[in-house]
Amino acid sequence: MRQALATLMTEETFEPFVFVMNSGDRYEVRTFDMAVRERDIVTVYRYRSNRKDILRIAEICVLEILDPDEPT
Amino acid sequence: MVPSLQTEIHQELSRRRSPVPFIPFAIITVDGVEHMVRRSGQFALRENDMMLLSNAATTRIRLADIARIEERRLMTKEQEKIRDDLVAHLNGKPFRRFSIRMTDGSSYEIVRVFQAAIGLTKGYLVSADGKNRRNFHIRDIATIEEMVAA
């Protein structure tokens, strides 16, 4: 997962995606300005909000790639 | 207040309760007191003539006492420009390194994608070496400068 995440969160390979956690919670990352990646955690801001979620990478279950043309 | 105006105020408040994104506004009563509404769900309408507003304490406001409702901006024009600039830098293709200088004099180099993020008015960044991290507000940013390649 860590490797997949590192691959996905690069400029060259970036596609909008959703973090699906072990709990089933979903966090969408559509643009580069929505998230910060660190070694063990990812911080994701919600769309047009100051609310942010801090996700433990070890708790990420699925990386769901979105269709960029699909409306939000 | 005539009943039709009161109904209008009621409808206006109902409309403003939970748009996405929420637009902050101020309720100004006839005695000149200003009540800020900064987030959705901060107030509740009770019957047709009363509203409850939760700030430090719950305030009861009679709709008949409301003189006007005014939108309030979250950011100044300058702050909006800085936010737009930051978003443009973060999403630039190809990504170009840039630095963020804060009003307190500190400076952070953003050398890769997903090193900084911005919400509506607040953001979070990690220094290039990963050792420092910082929550910031748009008003904390002095300038954003592109870094010249060595």
Question: Mind listing the pLDDT tens digit for each residue in B27-79?
Answer: 999 998 988 888 877 888 877 788 888 877 788 888 889 999 988 887 888 99
Q: Tell whether omega for the bond before B3 is within 30 degrees of 0, i.e. cis.
A: no
CB < 8 Å from B in window 13-52 of A: 14, 31-39, 43-46, 48-52
B101/B140 Cα distance (integer angstroms): 9
Q: Which of A47-56, B42-51, B112-121, B135-144 has the lowest mean pLDDT?
A: B42-51
Question: Mind listing the pLDDT tens digit for each residue in B11-28?
Answer: 888 888 777 777 889 999
The verdict on ipTM greater than 0.90 is: no
User: Which chain A residue is nearest to residue B85, measuring alpha carbons?
Assistant: A33
Mean pLDDT, chain B, integer: 87
Q: What are the tokens at B78?
A: 């300058």
- Looking at mean pLDDT, say which of A44-53, B42-51, B98-107 comes out highest: B98-107
**Residue of A34, A36, A41 lying closest to A56 (CA atoms):** A41
pTM: 0.73
Closest partner CB to A11 (pick from B94, B116, B124): B94
Q: Is the pLDDT of residue A55 over 80?
A: yes
Please give the domain boundaries of chain A with CATH numbers for all domains: 2-65 (2.30.30.100)
Q: How far is CA A15 from CA A48, B27, B105, B118, in A?
A: 20, 43, 35, 19
A70/B108 Cα distance (integer angstroms): 35
